[in-house]
Amino acid sequence: MPKKTWLILAWSWTIIIAVLCLVSFKEFPTVRVANADKYVHGVMHFLFVVLWYQYYRRSRGLPKLWLLGKSLLYSVLYGCLIEVAQECCCTTRMADLRDVLANFIGAFAGVMLLWALDYSREINQE
């Protein structure tokens, strides 16, 4: 996929995360799964890392490990920024440190998967 497509996907997903985390969805039916929102946070940041890494990988000549770390850092910082925004700017949402942890776990899982896929590609090319 071209670099521009990855950029559009990454920015679109970044905006979707903000909307999902800052808009109230009280009108929608609730899911009866314990800590379902934590799974959602994990998946959101897993995809955040995957999409931004794919863009960075096509736009820079930096080492893959550096790009994985950058994607992880940006995901965690973005998740923290969203939590601060929930606390300061929303009346229907509140910050939760467990959300930050779920964000990190999802982002880290994305990094590990991408690293494993890149590593296996390198081994297969040898």
Can you state the percent helix, strand and coil of the chain, rounding each to 5? Answer: 80, 0, 20
pLDDT, residue 33, reads 73
**pLDDT value at residue 54:** 95
Q: Which two tokens stand for residue 79?
A: 């998740």
Q: What is the pLDDT of residue 60?
A: 67
Q: Where are the domains of the chain?
A: 3-18+37-125
Q: What's this model's pTM, rounded to 2 decimal places?
A: 0.88
Q: How far is CA 113 from the centre of its chain?
A: 13
Q: Is the dihedral of CA 106, 111, 117, 120 positive or negative?
A: negative
Q: What is the mean pLDDT of each run of 10 residues along the chain (126 residues)?
A: 94 96 73 80 97 89 90 97 90 85 97 91 74
- For residue 23, the model assigns a pLDDT of 85
